[in-house]
Amino acid sequence: MYLSTASCVLGLLLPTGTTGNSLFANALKTWTDKRQRVMNAAARVISGTRKLDHGLMRLLHEDLHWLDIPQRITFKLCLLVSKCLHGLAPRYLAELCVPVADVMGCRNLRSATRGLLNFPRYNMISHGQRAFSYAGPHAWNSVPERLRQTTSIELFKRSLKTFVFGQSDIRDIPVKWAI
């Protein structure tokens, strides 16, 4: 029953609730909290738990292997940047991912040899930091160098998800499963 319920919920949730996650980069916490509540409700439907049962975060992370919305946004941004750098994304996005080594005057910096990307400085906090030209390279630069040097997209996805899960903070009591 668990797998069939999970399949139904994922079929309904993923096409509408998780698309465009990278559009929520640096968005207001109230926006990401709404999406998190939808994912939490989906996890409760799958597990058969009630709203006030403990252990929801453990269920999301350990059993369902779902990332929280802020981590999911970072994951999607880094994956899109990786595709840009490997020629698997549209050219208009790839042009926004400029390595520091390609910027005049920055070629001799240590960051030029570490695979970091250049990102523009913005004065407007509300919109400038949400643009892919800023959010994508900024998320990419936060990933460890060993991940940035991965050439396989599938290996990068697995390693990145493991890295992002390591950044999560799980302090919940184990969930009580409904039978």
For 24-70, the pLDDT digits (tens) are: 776 778 888 888 888 888 888 888 888 777 777 777 777 788 888 88
Domain annotation covers residue 132 = yes
Q: Which of 40-44, 136-140, 142-146, 171-175 has the lowest mean pLDDT?
A: 171-175
Nearest CA to 24 out of 135, 137, 169 is that of 135
Whether residues 93 and 61 fall in one domain: no
Per the prediction, the chain carries an average pLDDT of: 77
Domain annotation covers residue 137 = yes
Question: What's the whole-model pTM score?
Answer: 0.77
Return the C-alpha torsion angle 83, 84, 87, 91, nearest 10: 140
Domain annotation covers residue 175 = no
Whether residues 43 and 128 fall in one domain: no
- Residue 47's domain comprises 2-18+27-68
User: How many alpha carbons fall within 13 Å on the CB side of residue 82?
Assistant: 22
